[in-house]
Amino acid sequence: SRELAGGAQLAAAARPGRRRRRSAQARRAGFPGLQPAPPRPARPPPSAMAGCAARAPQGSEARLSLATFLLGASVLALPLLTRAGLQGRTGLALYVAGLNALLLLLYRPPRYQIAIRACFLGFVFGCGVLLSLSQYMCSLSLFHYSEYLVTAVNNPKSLSLDSFLLNHSLEYTVAALSSWIEFTLENIFWPELKQITWLSATGLLMVVFGECLRKAAMFTAGSNFNHVVQNEKSETHTLVTSGVYAWFRHPSYVGWFYWSIGTQVMLCNPICGVGYALTVWRFFRDRTEEEETSLIHFFGEEYLEYKKRVPTGLPFIKGVKVEL
């Protein structure tokens, strides 16, 4: 499962062997409580779009992404084209081709790469409203788009194409495909399983709660929040304990935990629902222990006192055990 979000900084010194084995994508997450270290002087790869905020006026990426997201969502007007005489498939093909042509005319790289991703997510959102998978598709597209938008507003220096979290990891892709396959097969052979309204509504509430909590954590942390793991403590690192961090030590993890499970409850996917819950719980159990080892190393008694006052927020996960 891809549900890796929010938390504190990983302990690089605590488990160096394990850290080296992780791929860069598998380690991507947000970090409540720590201000990101200054960017490395090395020039980032063009595909990552790192440093795009420095080349454009502040806030331009946020405005660009919002405009193109809404442009993609204009697929909601497609029924009007079909009523005007265009066949459904023909109208959809012309719409998609027209959108891409318009984006190519309006933008050049690197802004085109931002625009096409935001437009795609808006298109998925609009299709979700039109199709039977509306709640799930809308929730999924809004989650990925809002990750980029909040980062663009909150911490533009760390903004990159990876902030959309569309290419998070192979494990996340496999998990998503598995849920889609399960939904399709069960909808064909056991359609009554997908008609449990109260269960879908419960999943939707979990998704809304998780999404709101995660975004609240990102806004509370401000520029301290970063999607990329920061391995070294710098002089600017600060511990955030206010706002939602006064409720949970890892609010962004908590948000993504319930959001991910909620998507499967919303789809009435029993197999992936159980699989997601077990997988993300195990991941966050290990992640919080590693990160809290690092936080104790960075902040000492200050973090230990915070740890005593505030729970992790994750069920049956208490974090790293401290031997006195």
DSSP character string of 97-130: HHHHHHHHHH--TTHHHHHHHHHHHHHHHHHHHH
- The whole-number pLDDT of residue 85 equals 57
Question: Which residues neighbour 127 within 8 Å (Cβ) at sequence distance 6 or greater?
Answer: 75, 137
Helix, strand or coil, per DSSP, at residue 160: coil
User: Could you tell me the pLDDT band of residue 238, with boundaries at 50, 70 and 90?
Assistant: confident
Q: Which of 319, 315, 323, 310 is nearest to 239 (CA)?
A: 310
Express each pLDDT in 113-165 by its tens digit: 999 999 999 999 999 988 866 899 999 999 999 999 999 999 898 899 999 99
User: Could you tell me the pLDDT band of residue 24, with boundaries at 50, 70 and 90?
Assistant: very low
pTM for this one? 0.79
Q: 168 and 153 in contact (C-beta within 8 Å)? A: no
Q: Work out the average pLDDT over 41-53.
A: 45
Q: Work out the average pLDDT over 30-57.
A: 46
Task: Report how far residue 243's alpha carbon sits from residue 239's, in angstroms, rounded to the nearest whole number.
Answer: 12
- Residue 69 is which amino acid? F
Task: Report how far residue 183's alpha carbon sits from residue 175's, in angstroms, rounded to the nearest whole number.
Answer: 12
Q: In this structure, how many other beta carbons lie within 10 angstroms of the beta carbon of residue 176?
A: 16
Q: 156 and 61 in contact (C-beta within 8 Å)? A: yes
Q: Work out the average pLDDT over 178-207.
A: 96
**Structure-model confidence comparison of residues 7 and 251, the more confident one:** 251
- Whose tokens are 């960075």? That residue is 298
Supply angle C-alpha 213, 215, 221, rounded to 5: 100
| Phi/psi at 160 (5° precision) | -155, 175
